[in-house]
Structure 1
Amino acid sequence: MAGQLINWDLAAATAARLTPPGPALSAAEAREAVESLRRLADASVPHVHRITGLAVAEDLRDSQLLIVDRASWAKANAQGFEVMMAPVLAHLVEKKASELTPAAARVGGAITGAQLGAILAYLASRVLGQYEPFAALAPGSTVPPAGRLLLVAPNIVHVERELAVDPEDFRMWVCLHEQTHRVQFAAAPWLRGHMTEQIGKLSESLVGNVDSIMERAAAAAKSLRDRTGTSANLPSKGAILDLLRDPEERAAISHLTAVMSLLEGHANVVMDAVDASVVPSVRTIRQRFQARNENRGPIETFVRRFLGLEAKMRQYTDGQEFVRHVVDTVGMAGFNRVWESAEHLPTEEEIHDPAAWVARMGL
């Protein structure tokens, strides 16, 4: 019955139906974009190797590179979510066995699948690329053992046109960031299992406390409604974390936040380490891309906050500052100790105090 609680096929189909197709491209233009992205993705790897000093960047054949459209990205993410959520849903079925019937599970699964599809549709028109390591864990999966890197061609073309930047330069810039994620998981083959375990522990705890969390969420929502003169803004990260009173839940959220900050910040550092010899118009791209992120309308800002994307942007900044400080202090070789084991991952406190991580590592 666990597999019925979320209709994953419906989620992917809903996302494909709701997602706009992207910029108008002729067959020749689409073919050129795909060929260009594939070529530049390959060309970016030696630069990632040079900047990071990670030997695994010399050979990434255990994972897959795919140039995809928006619907394919949504389907791939539905598959990844299904793998991550399987233990949680099984735990939920066990906890709520007396309340769940097959018919109720199917109806609820359809509703949840459609809702997830709507979220994926929104994200599918905005994500430029993503390293997806989890779908390979699904039974019978044909995804290579280490996962797959997805580059979303329509979105990359859309942004490069919106910014009016050189397409080849922008595509190389994006590939540097995304290939770095691929290298991270290759350098730390334990990382996927570690993240899956942490997400599973957090989810099981949340499921175990779902009734009390829902009561606290309802009380928080009522408090917001009852306030006079309040805006439509969502609660801050702190307010949301106030719903999680279990120390283990809060610790798990903190740990996953630190890991994501590390991964995103490291990829940004690599992306920005190139100069005009690699990406001739890199300064222009950086300036216009940053300005684009700062000038969003109120509706998109609200949606991004609702989906947690604003927090993700803070992860880019916080993680980037952490990596730069460590590299400036002990060099890239010293920083690369972070990929050796889960014990070497920074805590959320260390993300904001890099010197503490350096001291803990004995560097």
Structure 2
Amino acid sequence: MSAPAVPTVDWDLAVAAAVRLAPRPPSLDRAEAAAVVAELRDAAGRAQAHVREHTGLVAPAGDGAVLVVDRPSWIRANADAFAAVLDPLVLRLASRRKGPGASPAALAVGGALTGAEAGGLLALLSAKVLGQYEVFAPAASGGRLLLVAPNVVAVERELDVDPSDFRLWVCLHEETHRVQFAVAPWLRDHLREQLEVFIDATELDAAAALRRLWAVLRAVVSAVRGTPGASLVEAVQSDAQRAALARVTAVMSLLEGHADVVMDDVGPQVVPSVAQIRERFQRRRESTSLQDSAVRRLLGLEAKMRQYREGAVFVRGVLDAVGMEGFNRVWESPETLPRPEEIADPAAWVARVHAA
């Protein structure tokens, strides 16, 4: 059967719901808001030079815009990105599977029902993200780095840290992500291919798979309300899917671990209060509310944070063995990415990649 030409989620509804449900941002008058935006842009520019000098990675000139956004703008950008990656994947599944629920009409009804749920999740996340590189942004957007100004202000006030130092510290981490994808332009397609492998290995028909996908989303929303439900791991059905998920997790561990290492290595040189910022930020991360803990367990974020720490250990291990130039071979091709088992064994990656 041909792929249905309808979206699997009503993204317009999702955006409208998310904008309406997003928490109120911190209070700023017009002049304060303009000053925050200006300083974040300046910090992003300074971070580019610091990351380039430390890593030796040179992103192509003009590669990727840096945008300072509010929560509604972040919501719209992420809805576009989710649509760009999720709709083709679910429609790909529908084209390969058969079942009464795989019809365009059934998928359209499902989109209307799930738009509000997707909006609830976007609203929740819109108040938590400090910055992000748009890995799966629509092609027309190109690679963009988003800095969410109200969230940066909210956290720096909560931590009671120096605003200028905190803003540069955040930008060091996010700029590292921008550079990673700029020097390895194949990386985005590699991640998308792993998601396609995951979908192709799905053992359900399209209707059942779509129901499972959005049952998990409903579980996320219920957890936000304080009633934990199913876990996202229930979407993993087969050995092929687990292998694809392990490869994606290894890449994400590498990316986050590398960004943390760069931030921690550069920070003491250019951020005077970095020790205070790191200590208070880490304490905040560990003292999550019961509601946040439920969501983190549901989404597998507890395991993900552990894997990110392992990613930093991997990066440190490789740097100790072969230095920065040797580590940067990781950005050459999919074959030089760490395999899942190598994240915990950097010496194995060094032996495999540098043996040649």
**TM-score band, normalised by shorter chain:** 0.7 to 0.9
Q: State the match for 1:226 in structure 2.
A: none
Q: State the match for 1:227 in structure 2.
A: none
- Distance across 2 between alignment mates of 1:267 and 1:60: 21
Residues 1:317 and 2:309 aligned together: yes
Q: State the match for 1:174 in structure 2.
A: 170
- Distance across 2 between alignment mates of 1:16 and 1:96: 36
The structural deviation recorded for 1:258 is 0.1
Look up the SS of the partner of 2:202 in the other structure.
Answer: helix
Aligned residues: CA RMSD: 2.4
Contact 1:33 1:153 in 2 (8 A): yes
The structural deviation recorded for 1:81 is 1.2
* TM-score, normalised with respect to structure 1: 0.86
- Distance across 1 between alignment mates of 2:22 and 2:286: 24
Q: Among 104, 107, 113, which residue is 1:105 paired with?
A: 107
Contact 2:231 2:299 in 1 (8 A): no
- Distance across 1 between alignment mates of 2:342 and 2:209: 31
Q: State the match for 2:33 in structure 1.
A: 30
The structural deviation recorded for 1:198 is 1.1
1:1-363 residue pairs with structure 2 within 5 A? 1-56=4-59, 59-94=60-95, 95-96=97-98, 98-100=100-102, 102-137=104-139, 141=140, 143-144=141-142, 147-206=143-202, 208=204, 211=208, 240=233, 244-362=236-354
- Distance across 1 between alignment mates of 2:132 and 2:240: 29
Q: State the match for 1:228 in structure 2.
A: none
Look up the SS of the partner of 1:24 in the other structure.
Answer: coil
Contact 1:84 1:199 in 2 (8 A): no
The structural deviation recorded for 1:312 is 3.1
Measured at CA, do residues 315 and 72 of structure 1 come closer, stay the same or move farther in structure 2, by a change above 3 Å?
farther
- Distance across 2 between alignment mates of 1:136 and 1:318: 31
- Distance across 1 between alignment mates of 2:71 and 2:210: 34
Look up the SS of the partner of 1:66 in the other structure.
Answer: strand
Measured at CA, do residues 212 and 155 of structure 1 come closer, stay the same or move farther in structure 2, by a change above 3 Å?
closer
The structural deviation recorded for 1:2 is 4.4
Measured at CA, do residues 194 and 151 of structure 1 come closer, stay the same or move farther in structure 2, by a change above 3 Å?
same
Measured at CA, do residues 254 and 262 of structure 1 come closer, stay the same or move farther in structure 2, by a change above 3 Å?
same
Letter in 2 for 1:289: F
Measured at CA, do residues 321 and 117 of structure 1 come closer, stay the same or move farther in structure 2, by a change above 3 Å?
same
Look up the SS of the partner of 1:206 in the other structure.
Answer: coil
- Distance across 2 between alignment mates of 1:307 and 1:316: 15
After superposition, the C-alpha distances for 1:199-239 in whole angstroms (9 at most, x for unaligned) are: 12212322646759989xx9xxxxxxxxxxxxx877889xx
- Distance across 1 between alignment mates of 2:94 and 2:205: 14
- Distance across 1 between alignment mates of 2:283 and 2:40: 24
Measured at CA, do residues 96 and 112 of structure 1 come closer, stay the same or move farther in structure 2, by a change above 3 Å?
farther
Contact 2:19 2:72 in 1 (8 A): yes
Contact 1:70 1:124 in 2 (8 A): yes
Task: State percent identity of aligned pairs.
Answer: 53
Moved more, 102-111 or 114-123: 102-111
- Structure 2 stretches lacking a partner, 5+ long: 216-226
State the aligned residue count: 337
The structural deviation recorded for 1:97 is 5.8
Letter in 2 for 1:253: L
Measured at CA, do residues 351 and 284 of structure 1 come closer, stay the same or move farther in structure 2, by a change above 3 Å?
same
Measured at CA, do residues 287 and 65 of structure 1 come closer, stay the same or move farther in structure 2, by a change above 3 Å?
same
Q: State the match for 2:224 in structure 1.
A: none
* TM-score, normalised with respect to structure 2: 0.88
Consecutive aligned runs of 4 or more in structure 1 exceeding 6 Å deviation = 212-215, 232-237
Contact 2:166 2:277 in 1 (8 A): yes
Measured at CA, do residues 115 and 204 of structure 1 come closer, stay the same or move farther in structure 2, by a change above 3 Å?
farther
The structural deviation recorded for 1:308 is 3.1
Letter in 2 for 1:107: V
The structural deviation recorded for 1:329 is 1.2
Look up the SS of the partner of 2:28 in the other structure.
Answer: coil
- Distance across 1 between alignment mates of 2:103 and 2:210: 23
The structural deviation recorded for 1:315 is 3.0
- Distance across 2 between alignment mates of 1:268 and 1:117: 30
Measured at CA, do residues 71 and 198 of structure 1 come closer, stay the same or move farther in structure 2, by a change above 3 Å?
same
- Distance across 1 between alignment mates of 2:102 and 2:150: 41
- Distance across 2 between alignment mates of 1:117 and 1:233: 18
Measured at CA, do residues 111 and 234 of structure 1 come closer, stay the same or move farther in structure 2, by a change above 3 Å?
closer
Measured at CA, do residues 308 and 13 of structure 1 come closer, stay the same or move farther in structure 2, by a change above 3 Å?
farther
After superposition, the C-alpha distances for 1:149-184 in whole angstroms (9 at most, x for unaligned) are: 000000000000000000000000000000000000
Measured at CA, do residues 233 and 116 of structure 1 come closer, stay the same or move farther in structure 2, by a change above 3 Å?
closer
After superposition, the C-alpha distances for 1:74-100 in whole angstroms (9 at most, x for unaligned) are: 111111111112332223433346335
